[in-house]
Amino acid sequence: MIRKNNCKSVEEYHGTVKRACNRFDILIVISCLMFTFFAGNVWAEDNNHPTGLRKPTQSEMEWDKKNLIHVEHVKLNSIGLERVNAVRKAKKLPEISKNVQVSISKEIVSGKTVLTKSEMEAEALAVSSLPSNIDNSLLPCFPPIGNQSGLGSCACFSSTYYQMTHMTGLVRGWNAKNDPDNIRKFSPKWTYNMVNGGNDNGSWMTNAFEIALKHGVATWHDFPYVGEAEPETNYREWSTDASVWRNAINNKMEQAGDVSLGAGDTPVTSVNDDNLANIKQLLNNGYVLTFGTSVFSWHSVRIKNDVATSADDEFVDELVCSYVDGTEGGHSMTIVGYNDDIWVDINGNNIVDSGEKGAFKIANSWGDSYWNDGFIWFAYDALNKTSSVVNGPSMSTRVEGLWSNTVYWITAKRSYTPTLLGQFTLNHTKRNQIVAKIGYSDTTKKDWEPAPIFSNGGEYAFDGTQTACDGTFVFDFTELIDTYDIDNGAKKRWYLSINDNEDDDVQAILKNFKLIDVQNDAAISSTNSFPMESNYSTVLSWIDYIITPRVLSNKRWEIKFNIPVMESSINNSNIYVKDTNKNKVPVTLKLSDDGKTVNVIPSKNSYAYGKKYTLYVTKNIKSVSGKKLGEPKEKTFIIIDPVRGVKF
């Protein structure tokens, strides 16, 4: 993955060729000039910088197919609407109504959803009014240019450090640029070290997505990235600190997906091409996107000045990739914006030809002293396997600029507090022999498989050495609870299973297991006998526990009686709801016609998301014969956001 730079600069390269051409006749000069342009500055010999993106395995492609959401349409959020309306205002066009905007992270429309006529009209207006220049790297939430240094961690650098930091900051209002303590930037070490199998051989694009979706991501402050290949623990070490795992859970990815540029060898022919629309709309909404490319087969030139406009003046002479000629150097980078005014002289004739305008702005992970202060432009025509420009580079080895003509998007949770966590301490010399599962059971058993501790990580201990050590991990039961709708107030058996899958002299030692009820600020330790030892076997630890039910804010509780009750006893003194401050909240009580059921109906503003309430039924309720209820009853519940789960 390590490459050394023997290339000349563009200016030096062109000057050398020009001097050589001067020694030959005019036919050779023409030939040399054409070769100079098409070759440009070739990164194929640029061996000083690491890459690290490899092609996906079959199982990784299957994961992508199952978990990634494919974009068909993009709605406007508040950022995109403001930008589009600024364009429309400048053109003296009526502004698009705020009624069409959606919240950040709710803009994606997949193939399963059909747009209404008004939504389609709003999308058409938005596309026709997109700004000519978007640069999301200027937003406060985009972090400074980073450097992966000597490791093949580009996929995790682009997805975790750039994309996850930016998208989380976008919904939470973070400033990653003014962050001296690195508490608002995420560490690529967290994801890279868990997906590389204990070797610095790179990773696939979406490996980090699985970690971020299941376990969240650790901040750079909690788990600092060090990009040197020595010591090897820099790319092998997992965090063994429970607080790091616990903090990471608060920073979960919400969704992930892809956007296709379309089929064919020439999917893009102009700045207004339909195949660019979804990508541009996402960028207009403030998103940043990741992609794979063969960076050592890039050919770069300098941006030229289109004298017909001043909009490109500040970018003239910056480096831009003009096409990709080969498959060397699998690398992941991040699209932060686009500019339709940039001119890339694709065919080298010094005339602005059709197909030569426009480029994406790319953030790289080789530090801010490289290329355009760590950024580079990528011409729209470089997306094509076959150039759309007359007399453009057309060699047989030219390839599509982005792997599979695809870019990847993510959204982050605006806020997240789990319902129930499992924390345990485990000791082993070879973490790749361990399969850990958390789950619950009543009449049936349901499992949840963590991403890292699942026959993963290579033959190393949790700290990346070959000496056994303790690691304390925190896994989130909330996904199980949400998937199987099990928070009904009934007792469940919550368990942790540890399997050692090799018959050798190395054993797994489970030292403890406890549940953390986040909503009730309670910790419940397993009463099983510890330590538990596993060698080519499975050990099981469990805790029986009732979790607080979670309901929507419009929840109507039904109180059922075995005999009819006296209507006069059904009042707000005998049945009521209180918040955690012991204040009553407004509810309406409705007795059924048969007198056996009372509905407790909230008003519109009775409950707040993420708050806990208790329903009380006193013993003063009487039957129609005047007999009082035997024992008072109460039920505690938590209000959840119907979209995001519990919100605090």
Confidence of residue 43 (pLDDT cuts 50, 70, 90): very low
Task: Identify any residues that bridge with 300 across adjacent strands, giving them in sequence order.
Answer: 41, 321
Residue 258 has pLDDT above 80, yes or no: yes
Q: Helix or strand or coil: residue 172?
A: helix
**Under 8 Å between Cβ of 354 and 313:** no
Q: What is the mean pLDDT of residues 599-614?
A: 90
Confidence check: pLDDT of 35 > 60:
no
Q: Is the pLDDT of residue 166 over 80?
A: yes
Helix pair angle (242-249, 207-215), 10° resolution = 90
Q: Indicate if the pLDDT at residue 208 is higher than 80.
A: yes
Q: Are 221 and 181 in contact (CB under 8 A)?
A: yes
Q: At 127, which helix (H) or strand (E)?
A: helix 117-128
Sheet with 597-602, edge to edge strand ranges: 557-560, 597-602, 587-591
Contact 48, 370 (CB under 8 A): no
Rounded distance between C-alpha atoms, residue 280 and residue 337, angstroms: 8
User: Given this model, what pLDDT does residue 34 score?
Assistant: 33
CA distances from 630 to 187, 469, 572, 590, 618 (A): 58, 56, 19, 21, 9
Question: What is the 8-class DSSP label of residue 559?
Answer: E
Average pLDDT of the segment spanning 406-416: 96
Sign (positive or negative) of CA dihedral 484, 489, 491, 493:
positive
Candidate from 16-25, 424-433, 458-467, 570-579 with smallest mean pLDDT? 16-25
In angstroms, the first-to-last Cα distance of the chain is 43
- Of 151-165, 225-239, 321-335, 598-612, where does mean pLDDT reach its minimum? 598-612
Question: Chain-wide mean pLDDT for the chain?
Answer: 89
pLDDT at site 450: 81
% of the chain beyond a pLDDT of 70? 90
Nearest to 246 by CA among 457, 449, 472, 455: 472
Under 8 Å between Cβ of 186 and 165: yes
Amino acid type, 66? K
DSSP letter, residue 271: T
What mean pLDDT do residues 402-425 have?
95
What is the chain's Cα-based Rg? 30
Does the pLDDT of residue 73 top 90, yes or no?
A: yes
Across residues 347-352, what is the average pLDDT?
A: 96
Q: Which amino acid would we find at residue 555?
A: K
Q: Does residue 42 carry a pLDDT above 80? A: no
Here the tokens at position 35 are 């070769």
Residue 112: pLDDT over 80: no
Under DSSP, the state recorded for 163 is I
593: pLDDT strictly greater than 70: yes
Q: What pLDDT is stored for residue 611 in this prediction?
A: 87
Q: For residue 325, what pLDDT band results from cuts at 50, 70 and 90?
A: very high
Q: How confident is the model at residue 24 (pLDDT cuts 50, 70, 90)?
A: very low
Listed residue (395, 404, 291, 402) closest to 40, CA to CA:
395
Residues 159, 52: Cα–Cα separation, whole Å:
13
Task: Please give the model's pTM, rounded to 2 decimal places.
Answer: 0.86
Q: In this predicted model, what pLDDT tens digit does every residue of 86-104 receive, in sequence order?
A: 999 999 999 999 999 999 9
* pLDDT for res 442: 77
Per-residue pLDDT, averaged over 301-312, amounts to 96
Q: Round to whole Å and give the CA distance between 87 and 133.
A: 11
- Residue 28 in 3-state DSSP? helix
Provide the pLDDT for residue 486: 67
Q: What is the pLDDT of residue 641?
A: 64
What pLDDT band is residue 640 in, cutting at 50, 70 and 90?
Answer: confident
* Residue 30: predicted pLDDT: 27
pLDDT of 18 over the 90 cut: no
**pLDDT given at position 488:** 64
Distances (CA, A) of 25 to 15, 16, 20, 616, 628: 17, 17, 11, 98, 112
187, pLDDT greater than 80: yes
Q: What are phi and psi of 368, to 5 degrees?
A: -90, 5
3 state DSSP class of 543: strand
> Which percentage of the chain shows pLDDT scores above 90?
77
pLDDT, residue 443, reads 62
33 has pLDDT over 90: no
- How confident is the model at residue 29, as a pLDDT? 30
Q: How far is CA 273 from CA 128, 358, 381, 640, in A?
A: 11, 11, 11, 42
Can you tell me the distance from the alpha carbon of 130 to that of 25, in angstroms, rounded to the nearest whole number? 49
Cβ-based neighbour number of residue 181 at 10 Å: 9
Q: How confident is the model at residue 485 (pLDDT cuts 50, 70, 90)?
A: low
Q: How many CA atoms lie within 13 A of 209 on its CB side?
A: 21
Whole-number pLDDT of residue 413 = 95
Tokens coding 24: 């030959």
